[in-house]
Structure 1
């Protein structure tokens, strides 16, 4: 075997496998921006790490995909073999095995996306809870003294809002609540900033702002925690999220929606030129009104000066009027008393005509008459009843067996059974009987019986 000479070997650029894979990966990742790919999932695997690996295929080819755990939060669907999906991914190479693959950053079902479905579902649920009701929305201040801005401190949005406020009304103070406006945890921090602004309550209005982006980029403003924080905030909130065509849950929950962050600043800030013009008109009207008022007062003062008389004459006139009134007062009192006496007499006569005393006396006489008649009638009724009672008692006594006994008869009963004996054949000689008399009883022994 022929060995290459050392000189020839030193001229070669020999790659190791690691170097080759590393540079191939760098070349691939630098040559392809994030791309959207559509296909069908196959060979799905879920190792213990929480990452998901699968192949994405179409009728002619397939490519390996890695869907790392930190990107799975927005998926919202259950991955399975045969599922047709649309994903956004970066082209890459797995250096360890030299496998060509794509790194999935976002995934949704093909057709209507998962984010759009989640948006619609949350929108319906929050609307049912009343978060979008117009009656709950707060009015915006006409001239706010301080405006709070909830946005990213590093983006161009904050600069645009501040520039607009300075141009339109530089006297308005600004308080910035810095928050991240996209990515994991952004929604929680936005909601916390809204709650903080509500608790401080030192701003007359708030602007919730972010620049444009995809539905995924704007997703923190579609989270329920942000919508409920906006709903509970006691300070009016203007939402200026994205461009005019972007529409988020935060826009529907806010007290007002602006198509852009700049428009939100314009909505809350009055135009200083309009206000200065208005102030100038008001100042002119006040000056004209004051001049007219001063002119009227001057004319009135001149008129009062012309009518001014010496106090002595005024006092003499008042003294004369007082003397006249003091003379008229006794006469007026006497006349008033006479009128009152006459009125009292008239009312007394009318009262006597309607007095109930005559009717009460007549009623008392009728009462005594009726009482006498009632007593006599009751006495006669009792006497008749007593006579009837005596008659009935006499008839009853005549029919009573006791009356028969009084005439010497007796009632005979068997001593053993108490049965009444009505014929001699009912007893036998030697049998004991009892005879009831009008007064007492006789115990008898039958010696002999005889028939009639």
Structure 2
């Protein structure tokens, strides 16, 4: 018996024993996860992996969390701060790197991941970096501005689609349009949607649709795929063709999670080609239901409107104005007379108010007669002149008083300020005296004058 036959025999024996002894002890989730971690770490351990950084997150802890990916697979990775600080270049999405890491399991989530201990820069030029570079360039030129986006027509009759006839896109698109809006005509331009020369064919088809102007809406569509598969729709030539197209455009490239430059430039982005078919067409059954609803509303409104006018006509028929026209005319004449009297009264009152206002203004104007104002001013000036004259020094001198000055021209008010023999000037009402002091007398001695 060889080794394989022995193994099969032992397995069969174990199965029979298990049938007799009952089911084995079940694993706990944590126990099984630990077992898987031990197997991975023990059997694989340290590895070197090359890939493109994606979904990079660096929280406040400083640890780096990201995924490494290539064309067909992704794997989670963690780069703890102590090792990450040794890098001589910053990590960023789209960067191709080579890492030395240990394969392990993050038990809390049951996910296997790489614990990176060393990273080396593989080099720039990845597709994602090219995507971001072109995206920034076109955004600066205004190709993504919402203000230039064209609205889709509500009732398109002709729709153009740029896609490959080899895929399922055109079948799904046509089937949905046939179901929702069978009257719409579809114009198809078969192009390559991936590989060398695909971008040039797509751009040329867009330009030709724009030049011919045969369709109301132009759809650029492709099924899902990797970033490399969809790259033709990230080429600058396609973006500029969409930007120049005079027809409203819809980009329906890939699946809902895929995003291309064409999605940003087109007037409308559809998550999938099937969704694009629904966006560009309104279900005719919905239109029928809405038209039926509108028809019913119009019918009800018309009936209500007619009923209202019937009631109005009945009231008019029963009104006294039609039963007794002369009485109605009499009421109108009476109202006219009343209005005429009210108008005359209002006019008279307005005229009376105007006369009163005129009289008031006339009196006010007379009170401001310039001649009267000048007379009042003259009288006031005379009064002030008399008041000033009454306090004039000359008037005091005319009453017999005099003013005495020393040789410096200062007014003398006290005898003690003057010395015997000092020269003084006495100003009288008419003329002045130059004299010398022979004797001085104080205030208390002024009761009598004695000449000696």
TM-score normalised to structure 1 length: 0.48
TM-score normalised to structure 2 length: 0.48
